[in-house]
Amino acid sequence: MSQHTITLIPGDGIGPEVTDATVRIVETAAKQHGTTFSWERHDAGADAFAKTGEYIPKALYDSVSTTKVALKGPVTTPIGSGFKSINVTLRKQFDLYANFRPIKNLPGLKTKYPDVDLIIVRENTEGLYVGLEQEIVPGVCTSLKVTTEKGSTRIAKFAFEYAAKHGRKKVHSIHKANIMKLTDGLFLKCAQAVAKDHPEIQYAEHIVDNACMQLVTNPYQYDVMVMENLYGDILSDLCSGFVGGLGLVPGANLGEHAAIFEAVHGSAPDIAGQDKANPTALLQSAVLMLRHLDETATADSIQGAIDAVYAEGKTLTRDVGGTSGTSAFADAIVAAL
């Protein structure tokens, strides 16, 4: 029997609801495969600030430093002022340099783009998201974009090594080197150097604005896409629309010494506490977490249950055309296990 201790960050808004549903499902599946989980629960975001005066309490940092793995629901971050992004802060604190977002259709869920299966790999610690902004004079602000050889090389290696391990055929670098010749130019040079070590993988480059057009025209031409921080933030959300939206797509933030798995949709305070939220994004993020922990059998059983419930289509939440609530959906997943 294996045992894992996980830092659990329920978040706020709908976060606690989708987190509770996900934990119940994970524990049910894990028990079937002789695995147990213990959860170190910590607040972050608006709820944490209301209780402690800190958006990210020290106890949360200490927990992730110890457990090395966290499962995180959506959190609320002030817009335009106040504390910087909770997500960005956690990624930088633990050097979670790779944001991994698989984009794949769920069975039975009709979209305009059936059978999409692509991977977004986003550099997670550099670019414009370093947050180096200043007001030069009143009415004039600047934001510094940071690109390093180390950061660009390691994210390219992550993309190519993932492609090689999982039988993927192509890697596209997405860039704007025609305009940002030094920063994005360095990113491309690093990707090109890594590509030479993987002749079995087809390598190509697309300018980011063209890539957006190419994606909505024909997403099937892409397999693995690797890019810097801002482009990855935008394109991963765009691609989630192919398969039904952010409420369905999982996310992982991976580093050498820690990993945080999270739902990337908002905290939706307008429906909080109403048993309406869809836990699929966090649940599929938990599947990624289980694979990271080498709990493959548990991961496969949960993904199989998700696929079965969606294929049947009788117990889905309202955001995907159903009439069921969070609890009923979770009950259906547990039953499918």
Enumerate the active-site residues.
Answer: 129, 176, 209, 233, 237
Structure token digits, residue 218: 């024909």
Strand duo 259-263 + 69-72: pairing: parallel
Ramachandran assignment for 148, one of left (phi > 0), alpha (psi -120 to 50 degrees), beta (any other)? beta
Task: Compute CA 208 distance to the chain's CA centroid, rounded to the nearest angstrom.
Answer: 20
CB atoms within 10 A of CB 337: 16
CA distance 138 to 131: 19
Residue with tokens 């966090």: 282
* Residues sharing a CB contact under 8 Å with residue 196, sequence separation 6 or more, in sequence order: none
Strand duo 117-123 + 140-146: pairing: unpaired
Residue with tokens 């939206």: 245
